Structure 1
Amino acid sequence: MPLADFWEQGELRAAARERHFGRLLRAYRLVQTPPVQQTQLAGWLGITQGQLSRIERAVAPVRDLVKLDQWARVLHVPAHLLWFEVTPSASEALDVLPPRVTLEEPAQGEDDDVRRRHLLKAAGIAAAAAGSGLLADAPWQRLLDSVDKGRPVDPATVALMQDRTADLFDTQYAVPARQMFDSLTKHRATLTTLLGNARTDVTRDPLAVMMGETEALIGWLYFDLGRGNEAADTWRATLKIAKDTGDRALAAYTLANWSYLAGSRNDIGPAIKLLRQAEDHVPGCSAPATRSWIAAREAEELSRLGDETAALRALERAFTAFDFARPRTERVWTGFFTANRLGGFTVSTYMALNHPDATAAANSLLASLSPTNNQARAIALADLTTLAVRTKDFDHANALIDDALDVTVRTGTSIARQRLLTLASALTTNGNPSATGALRDQILCTLRR
């Protein structure tokens, strides 16, 4: 893809409009195929992977003009996407920076990995002048030595693994489960080795928590891939880790994930029981983002039972807890639970209850979503298509279905897939086959091939 076209992609333009360079960097990584790893991009920018992870996830954006200008030059961000101008003082500081990197168009047949190696050379990240002594004590080298040579784990290695764990949780919202699985299982293997080389509680305890977080995410990927029994086995292992480490929030997260598996099997009663057990693990004001998510999930399942009073009360609890939540910083799994995602739970609850505000809420939610928020967009489009069919607005349903199927297949969002298949099943029994047959066939042909 020509560089000019690359920067015109919707995800990158949307990230630039947020005026948060960390989010622009994350979008830059994830729009590429395969996605650029944090370690690679950090090398190009001359920072550590841990620093890049914090920049991407930070609530407050970087405001240092020298850094912003340097990073924009390295990545060749077009001027029309930038929201800042270099001040005279910043220009003077840039005089001592390395020459601007030149990115050549790849030769025909040259793959992304080759192009990235050229970039690494151009950026000079080999840093030969740094000296072998400095490189030998670099955090990533200590991590390798801990894995390969049995070096005792130190706090810097723990911090590096925490950043990697957070990056995997962030990436899973933009990358299909089948593409994530190998990276996550390798991460688990690394954690297993490091736990064997952790000599103190200071290093062992956080590694054990990361192992639990990783197991929980692997369980979710199993669920996303339709391997429910393996998901349940993995979550059982996660609950044991949560018990051994005393991490009640991890137990709550695991039980809430398990509720999706029960719900997908139409075991609504067991799903609600799992969610109430999860809620008991985060009482009072503890873990407000996790608590808000659990209450919103409970509202969804209660609405499927037709218990409107209990469902709306659960939604009220979700909104109350969200007022105190800091999803980006609470735990690695809460970053997804933005106000838009809470809105998504509200829409699905309203839909199940046939609430009169369901369509208005769904349209408002879809309009507010960032182009990079693909999983939430898939779910919202599936819900809107279902609402259009319910109101017999088949023209609108047909207008929505292409986008709904495209983003669902592209992201592998199992919740959206399940809702569209449920819609197709309902269309089979619809009394107006001329209006619904093509829609049903399109859903089934796309999702079952």
Structure 2
Amino acid sequence: MSDDVTAVAPDLPADFWEQAEIRSPLLSQHFGRFLRAYRSAQSPKVKQADLAAWLGITQGQLSKLERSPAAIHDLVKLQKWAEALHVPSDLLWFGKPHEEAGQPEATSAKATDQELTHVPRRNLLKGAGVLAVSAASSGLLANAPWQRLMDSVENDRPVDMATVQLMQDRTADFHDNEHTVPARQLLEGLLRHRTVISALLTNARTENIRNELVRTFGETEALVGWLHFDLGNANEAVQSWRKTLKIAKDSGDGPLAACALSYWSYLASSRNDTVPAVRLLQQAESYVPGNTAPATRSWVAAREAEELSRLGNETEAMRALERAFTAFDFAHPRTERHWTTFFTANRLGSLTVSTYMGLQHKDAPAIADSLLASLPPTVRKQRALALTDLTTLCVRANDYDRARALVDGAIDSTIRTESSLSRQRLLTLSSELASAKKGSPGNTIRDRIRSGLHR
């Protein structure tokens, strides 16, 4: 066994057991294939010697189990190995052998309606997923959406629209979670999701289904790039956005191209390449002309206003902001595209505050105060940005008492959400205070930022 691996298998989080590559062999009742998937799905990959030790068998025996086309039917061994790996019981097609469990051999397989009403719906769905394969020969639940997904990935079953919808729903969930879940926590699952979509594309037999999957893949790839950007992985982010742009151009999906270019503009901005950032946003705006995709158009225009304000171009910045407000009147961010769900009135307000700050407009503090008061605690990344912007405005107005009261909340929100945008703005504020004298309020705030962001 490796020196750095414990003598027992780890307790893995619930989302590990939700992965298609883990559930599929269990649904197929093939424990050997499950063991291979179990090793590969972890990061770093589990070594055969370590897994064999956890199971109490030799590495050679494990290798044979993983490669064997035949399933294992020894219930005593199956139960022992499942317990060793902490496999959730609702994913297993077997229970304890009757002599070990102390139960009569014949038990009622039919639950009453009263019993079922007390079972959480989530558990019912999981149970149905297990039943789908074991009852496939009789047709019971064989066509459940999650079962069709497994069959498409594992058994080359042609993809149907129910499976496409399932993947689109999961993509939407990832985009929704990006607003509140740290990037590091979200990225691993998103990469696995992308792999599943790629596998499904190989079994897309009709043009309509393939087009829908390609669109979903592009929306996923765009978010992969954004999460890499949030984590400081610039090269990986650019690679993902290049792929997204190619998908968008090949499929004629203008709003998707606008999304990738707008994400890319944040990277340029983080490097103080303001002019290239503006060009990226102007190119993005050209992909959503007129009344098309109003939520995306509003976001792009507001971002353009933000960058133009950094150049001191007040006339063009205010025009861009006017376009953003006009488009937002027709926008339905929650239903337009997956990435637009974040672009609420509050997010438009945040970009407005940033634009007014860049222009050193006298109304910037009032707008920032109003925005912060309106934000619910659940929109954590937006709160991080709002707190950071308001702290900066207070410092620039020499209101150091309020700045000190705000800065710790800004730092804490930034750390918790791993928001690269608010982190960048805090570092900019720290640089502005570089010349502050020791012991001064500005020096205190600068030291709090530096120590807080590196804790």
Between the aligned partners of 1:134 and 1:258, the Cα distance in structure 2 is 48
The question of 1:440 aligning with 2:455 is answered no
CA distance in 2, matches of 1:189, 1:135: 26
Matches within 5 A, 1:46-61: none
Q: Sequence identity, in percent?
A: 60
- Of 425, 438, 442, the residue aligned with 1:419 is 425
- State the match for 1:253 in structure 2: 259
| Structure 1 position 351, deviation (Å) | 0.7
Between the aligned partners of 1:36 and 1:318, the Cα distance in structure 2 is 38
CA displacement at 1:437 relative to structure 2: 1.8
Is the CA contact 2:375–2:383 (under 8 Å) kept in the aligned structure 1?
yes
Quote the offset at 1:429 in angstroms.
2.0
Q: Are 2:404 and 1:398 equivalent residues in the alignment?
A: yes
The answer as to 2:341 corresponding to 1:335 is yes
**TM-score relative to the length of structure 2:** 0.72
Structure 1 residue 226 displacement after superposition: 0.8
SS state at 2:159 partner: coil
Supply the RMSD in Å over aligned alpha carbons. Answer: 2.5
Is the alpha carbon distance of 1:433 and 1:277 closer, same or farther for their aligned partners in structure 2, counting shifts above 3 Å? farther
CA distance in 1, matches of 2:327, 2:269: 23
Residue 150 of structure 1, aligned match among 141, 148, 156: 156
C-alpha distance 444-101 of structure 1, shift in aligned 2 (>3 A)? farther
Distance 1:302 1:184 in 2: 33
Paired letter, 1:333 = W
Q: Moved runs in structure 1, 4+ residues, more than 4 A? A: 33-37, 96-102, 118-121, 127-132
Specify the alignment match of 1:388 in structure 2.
394
Partner of 1:3: none
1:418 partner amino acid: Q
Q: Deviations over 1:95-124 (max 9, x none)?
A: x7657749xxxxxxxxxxxxxxx9966x69
Q: Is it true that 1:235 corresponds to 2:235 in the alignment?
A: no
Which residue is equivalent to 2:8?
none
Match of 2:187 in 1: 181
Structure 2 residue aligned with 1:345: 351
Over 3 Å counting, the alpha-carbon distance change for 1:181 and 1:327 in structure 2 is: same
The alignment partner of 2:127 has SS state of coil
CA contact (8 A) 2:436 2:443 kept: no
Q: State the Cα deviation string for residues 293-319 of structure 1 (Å, max 9, x = none).
A: 000000000000011111111100000
Does 2:127 correspond to 1:126?
A: yes
What amino acid maps onto 1:309 in structure 2? T
Residue of structure 2 equivalent to 1:282: 288
**Structure 1 residues 100 and 398: alpha-carbon distance in aligned structure 2, compared to 1, 3 A threshold:** farther
Please give the alpha-carbon distance, in whole angstroms, between the structure 1 residues aligned to 2:284 and 2:14.
Answer: 34
The amino acid across from 2:180 in the alignment is: A
Change (3 A) 1:444 1:181: same
Pairs within 5 Å for 1:240-389: 240-389=246-395
User: What's 1:211 paired with?
Assistant: 217
Report the TM-score, using the length of structure 1 for normalisation.
0.73
CA distance in 1, matches of 2:121, 2:290: 50
Amino acid at match of 2:272: N
Alpha-carbon spacing, 1:311–1:120, altered in 2? closer, same or farther (3 Å): closer
User: Do 2:400 and 2:441's aligned partners in 1 also have CA atoms closer than 8 Å?
Assistant: yes
Structure 1 residues 148 and 345: CA distance shift in structure 2, 3 A? same
Cα distance change, pair 129–181 in 1 and its aligned pair in 2 (3 A):
closer
Gapped regions of structure 1 (runs ≥ 5): 1-32, 41-95, 103-117
Which residue does the alignment assign to 1:162?
168
Structure-2 separation of matches of 1:330 and 1:435: 46
Q: Distance in 2 between matches of 1:35 and 1:381?
A: 33
Length, aligned pairs only: 347
What are the Cα deviations for residues 264-284 of structure 1, in whole angstroms up to 9, with x where unaligned? Answer: 111111000000000001101
Partners of 1:255 and 1:310 lie apart in 2 by 20
Give the letter aligned to residue 143 of structure 1: L
Provide the rounded CA distance (Å) in 1 between the counterparts of 2:351 and 2:156: 46
Other-structure match for 2:53: none
Question: How far did residue 135 of structure 1 move?
Answer: 2.4
Q: Which residue of structure 1 aligns with residue 436 of structure 2?
A: 430
1:79-102 CA-to-partner distances (Å, cap 9, x unmatched) read xxxxxxxxxxxxxxxxx7657749
SS state of the match for residue 179, structure 1?
helix
Q: What is the letter of the counterpart of residue 324 of structure 1?
A: F
- Could you give the per-residue CA deviations for residues 344-381 of structure 1, whole angstroms, max 9, x where no partner exists? 00000111111111111001001111110111000000
Structure-2 change in CA distance of 1:422 and 1:136 (3 Å): same
Q: Residue type of the partner of 1:126?
A: G
The one-letter code matched in structure 2 to 1:215 is E
Question: Partner of 1:284: helix, strand, or coil?
Answer: coil
1:436/1:101 Cα in 2 relative to 1: closer, same or farther (>3 Å)?
A: farther
How many Å separate the matches in 2 of 1:440 and 1:259?
27
> Which has the greater radius of gyration?
2
